[in-house]
Amino acid sequence: TQLLEQSPQFLSIQEGENLTVYCNSSSVFSSLQWYRQEPGEGPVLLVTVVTGGEVKKLKRLTFQFGDARKDSSLHITAAQPGDTGLYLCAGPWYNNNDMRFGAGTRLTVKP
């Protein structure tokens, strides 16, 4: 069982559509991070959310941290082919002193 559950696992949409992907846990996290990973590359950090209820925007991407700090969402407006990739959420897990990652949402945006 994943500590961080991401949904959907796969998402294929047309250019210009909007989408939301989710990251959920039964545990409380002090912060959550979102990464995007393209084929053959390592994940690249997009954002860190640290306050319950926080909303951060990066151009067409909107990130929200749940009030209880157990979940987060990523909303993309007017998706573009360049948004294609694996979106991973991650949070610090103190017991093991490491960052735990979800399995990711693999997004494909078709032109």
Partner 1 sequence: GAGVSQSPSNKVTEKGKDVELRCDPISGHTALYWYRQRLGQGLEFLIYFQGNSAPDKSGLPSDRFSAERTGESVSTLTIQRTQQEDSAVYLCASSSRGRGYGYTFGSGTRLTVV
Quote the CA–CA distance of 3 and 6 in Å, as a whole number: 10
Q: The tokens of 34 are what?
A: 């979102």
Contact pattern for partner 1 over residues 5 through 24, marking x by CB under 8 A: -x------------------
Helix (H) or strand (E) holding 80: none
Provide the 3-class DSSP secondary structure of residue 82: helix
Name the residue nearer to partner 1 (CB basis): 23 or 79: 23
- Torsion angle of the four alpha carbons 72, 29, 105, 7, in this order, in degrees rounded to the nearest 10: -60
Would you count residue 1 as binding partner 1 (CB under 8 A)? no
Count of residues binding partner 1 (CB under 8 A)?
Answer: 26
Name the residue nearer to partner 1 (CB basis): 14 or 30: 30
The site for partner 1 (CB under 8 A) is made up of 2, 6, 30-31, 33, 35, 40-45, 48, 88, 90, 92, 94, 96-104
